Amino acid sequence: MQRLVLSELSVSGDTETSTGLAQVQRAVQASQRCLVITGAGISVSSGIPDFRSPTGLFHQLKQKYPSSVTNGRDLFDATLFHDASMVNVFYSFMGELRTLIDRATCTPTHAFIKRLDEHGKLLRCYTQNIDSLEKRVGLETAFVQDEDA
C-alpha cells in the first residue's frame, strides 16, 4: 500500500507544484483504490472559511461576539442551550454559515475526488466537512450496504 499525504508535498513554486501533481498522478495511476481524507481546507476556495486559521470561523466569531464567544468551540457545546444569548449567537452563526454554503460551488478538489469515484478508484472519502459539497458534486456520503451481502 502506498501512502501519499498531499499536505506533505512541496508546492511553493510552479516547478514544485508540477512535480507534486505529477507525484499524485503517478500514485493514483499505480493504485487500485484510493482512500481520501479531507478537512475544511478543500472548501476554502469556494468561499467557506475553515475553522481554526487566523481568518477562520472561530476567529470571526470571537471578533463579532467578543462578550459571548471566547473560544470557537463554545458554539459546539450542548451547554450553550442553557443560555438564551448563546442560543441566539449560535443560530445567527449557523444562518450565516448556511448562506455561505448555499453560495459555494464545488472546488477542483471536489471534482478530483468525484473523478476518482467515476473511474472506480475511490474506496472511500472521509471528511469532517459540514458543507455537503461532496454530496453536491455527486459523491455518496452515507454508508451504503451492498445489496449482495
pTM: 0.74
Q: What would the pLDDT profile of 107-149 be if each residue is shown by its tens digit?
A: 988 999 999 999 899 999 888 888 889 989 988 766 665 565 5
Task: Tell me how far CA of residue 55 lies from CA of 50, 58, 81, 97, in angstroms.
Answer: 8, 8, 26, 14
SS3 content of the chain, % helix, strand, coil (to 5): 55, 5, 40
